[in-house]
Amino acid sequence: MLYSFLSLATVLALPQCNINPTLNLVMYCSGLHLFEPGATKQLPPGDHFVNILSGKLKRSCLVHIPKSYSPLNPSPMVLVFHGAGTNAAMTVSFTGMNKKSDAEGFIAVYPNGTGTGPFLTWNAGVLQGDMASGKPDDVAFVNQLLEELSGQINLDKKRIYATGISNGAMMCYKLASELGSKIAAIAPVAGTMNLDEVKLKQPLPVLHFHGTEDTFVPFEGPNSRTPKFMKFKSAEDTALIWAKANDCNLTCKEFDSKTFVDDGTKIKNKLYSNPVNGTEVHLIIIEGGGHTWPGMPPMVNFIGKSTKNISANDKIWEFFKKYQTH
């Protein structure tokens, strides 16, 4: 089901453009500055395509540095992971995160997974059996990417965050569980995990968005339509596991958010809190919502409704800026 995003590649159009989607993507990428593996040159404000060598593989990411960036001041970073069957360039448009980066002054980094052509995936720990064999170590890749970029950007290493959708959301959970000492908080969208338990060396806050009508990563967990080689938790079980890992009060606070637009969606919340250190695990339930990025229009109709009653980007940054690693 995660591979549903394959169809997005054929309908991608960057914002405010009415040209051929493939040409549009080429034009976008041609405007990027290219940095090869091991480059030590400092990245200036703008959009950059960065290559690194991870193991025996040539890996890459897109880096958006806002105009307000100064190499004299450490800047926070938000990693944005694409869904399966898409890539970094598509995710720039799909999430609209660059606009939030410009407004708030954080660096947005869009890593690329592995695969064929533009159809990339993450080894996020949900594949089972033969489907899981031979996959690259994407946690090691991200760890190396952070080290590479810290030599090209004045990065605030205490304020590195991760978000992503679908398979990219699952990658956020894997990254947090295995590289949590370097990640201050995560905000997965429409993707869960397969772990029964998480052990953390330090608190790691979670903000999770999930639509109740998501047919690709169902809110309640795998169903009859889910491929047998995939295993993942429900949205509520995932939140509870992370609440336990963060020593939160397991009696959550439940409340509804205000409905601003009558678009067939309503926003409900389950909030777990640790009263000692202020760590939160916040599950935002989008009743009627699909496999979408809240606040952004869906690229295609078959992925379901995208609520207009909440902006994921606004909520994500509001959540992230409260936390840093210790």
Q: Tell me how far apart the alpha carbons of residues 203 and 159 are, in angstroms, rounded to a whole number.
A: 14
Predicted confidence (pLDDT) at residue 132 exceeds the cutoff of 60: yes
Q: Which carries the bigger pLDDT value, residue 130 or residue 149?
A: 149
Question: Which token pair is 255?
Answer: 């409340």
Nearest in space to 90 (alpha carbons), one of 153, 169, 7:
7
Q: What is the per-residue pLDDT for 40?
A: 58
Is there a domain that residue 326 lies in? no
In a domain, residue 167? The reply is yes
User: What is the token pair recorded at 207?
Assistant: 């903000």
Q: Is the pLDDT of residue 271 over 90?
A: yes
DSSP classification of residue 68: T
Determine the average pLDDT of the residues in 284-302. Answer: 95
Residue 325 lies inside a defined structural domain of this protein: no
Count of domains for the chain: 1
CATH of the domain at 152: 3.40.50.1820
Residue 23 is predicted with a pLDDT of: 37
pTM over 0.85: yes
Domain limits for position 127: 2-320
- The tens digit of pLDDT for each residue in 61-115 reads 999 999 999 999 999 999 999 999 999 999 999 999 999 999 999 999 999 999 9
**pLDDT of 151 over the 70 cut:** yes
The helix/strand/coil state of 258 is coil
189-235 pLDDT, tens digit per residue, is 999 999 999 999 999 999 999 999 999 999 999 999 999 889 999 99
